[in-house]
Structure 1
């Protein structure tokens, strides 16, 4: 009996100390500054796909092609790399989608990274298009109206209401679009981009190209130190 018990205890010990997935950080650089984001491990399909398209360069030189003040900035359309001035964008894709990964604890507060999508019943995400929320600060009355008119009566949890009343965001998107990361440094870049002049399709009149990279080694150590000391 003792011989059988020891291996079981050993396996239990190993499982209790199993390495938790390490956090992944990415940087988006534009002529309006740079922003650092943390990818959520709670949404592994979106995290892994985003890492993949960063590594293969899919996102580099794509545009933030849709900008709406007090809402969000959207980019990642692969056809935007060669788009002519004024061309309507937002339909480009990579030929596949990512299954929705909704999590009640991940919501559309200011600064979150979420996956764009077309109108499909599964609410599957675009493989490359994403948006970062600017949103706005809400009052209780405004949140009540959002619940009634745009969320089918679904209630916003108390803790999340407090965030929407202080930090802000876009609550009507919750549980409709997958949230898979958040800004940890450089939120001012989103605010700056949201001030640009746009055309009738919400495309900036001057192209805003992006470079997207994984944050690693020395740069990562520096970033983590800054986050810890906030």
Structure 2
């Protein structure tokens, strides 16, 4: 019996040591605006492995954040254009869209071609984006705004809704769009009941908490592969998103990047960056 207890004690110690010493790749993106530090997710292995290989080979270096949009995202890492590879020869990655990863501020996801020419939602083999987004009111977040607008148009055709129709037209003509949005949202429950329609989007409690506090880009959820997260320097990404841009949202002044990866124990990453690894299911 004593030998059995010693065996399990040693097994526990070995397991604890392995966990404490388990290492991960820490990603550092250097730009003229500062440094962005990130980790990549284990349960998106194709994307994680591909990113690490490109970074270790130095292929990201001297690429740009070539598309930036305020309150939306910054996109970069166009390795294949830098290497003069014809677009038709650009490699892609299989989609690894996981429902537990969503586009809250600071998440890293893979760019891709639209569904019309890419029904499998395969990712671009190098380009990635960092989400910025905005903070949402919960009612706006959980409402299907397109369907709400269509239902309201139908509702205002009723003779009993003349006053609502007049108010809507007045706010529109006065370009009071915030007030107009508030008016439309205030009618959601009434429209659902009167027209027997569902205008509510389903979000998890975690999504609602994130999108109504730190913000993000919810309409991209379940559409693109999210494969990493910024753990330091998110303010740098946000600063980049605010730079002046020209044609196709390209910064007027190039924003070059250098990308490095280094192995570090997960315990040290959590301690140094205040990061908690997600439960990857």
The equivalent of 1:104 in structure 2 is 99
- Using structure 2 for the length normalisation, give the TM-score: 0.66
Work out whether residues 109 and 169 of structure 1, in 8 Å CA contact, stay in contact via their aligned partners in 2: yes
The equivalent of 2:205 in structure 1 is 158
1:214 is displaced (CA, Å) by: 0.4
1:57 is displaced (CA, Å) by: 1.5
- The 1-side partners of 2:262 and 2:80 are apart by 26
Distance 1:145 1:92, change over 3 A: farther
Alignment partner of 2:240 out of 177, 189, 193 = 193
CA RMSD of superposed structures (Å)? 3.3
Structure ID, larger Rg: 2
SS in 1 for 2:143: helix
SS in 2 for 1:67: strand
* 1:1-230 → structure 2 map (5 Å cutoff): 22-78=23-79, 81=82, 95-119=90-114, 120-146=118-144, 155-216=202-263, 224-228=270-274
Instruction: Give the helix-richer structure, 1 or 2.
Output: 2
Distance 1:104 1:35, change over 3 A: same
* Residue ranges of structure 2 left out of the alignment (5+ in a row): 1-7, 148-198, 277-281
* Residue ranges of structure 1 left out of the alignment (5+ in a row): 1-9, 84-90
1:154 is displaced (CA, Å) by: 5.4
Work out whether residues 54 and 214 of structure 1, in 8 Å CA contact, stay in contact via their aligned partners in 2: yes
- Using structure 1 for the length normalisation, give the TM-score: 0.79
1:16-63 deviation per Cα after TM superposition (whole angstroms, max 9, x unaligned) = 959677432100000000000010111111101111111112211001
Work out whether residues 100 and 125 of structure 1, in 8 Å CA contact, stay in contact via their aligned partners in 2: yes
- The 2-side partners of 1:125 and 1:35 are apart by 22
1:157 is displaced (CA, Å) by: 1.1
Report runs of 4+ in structure 1 exceeding 4 Å deviation.
16-21, 91-94, 146-149, 220-224
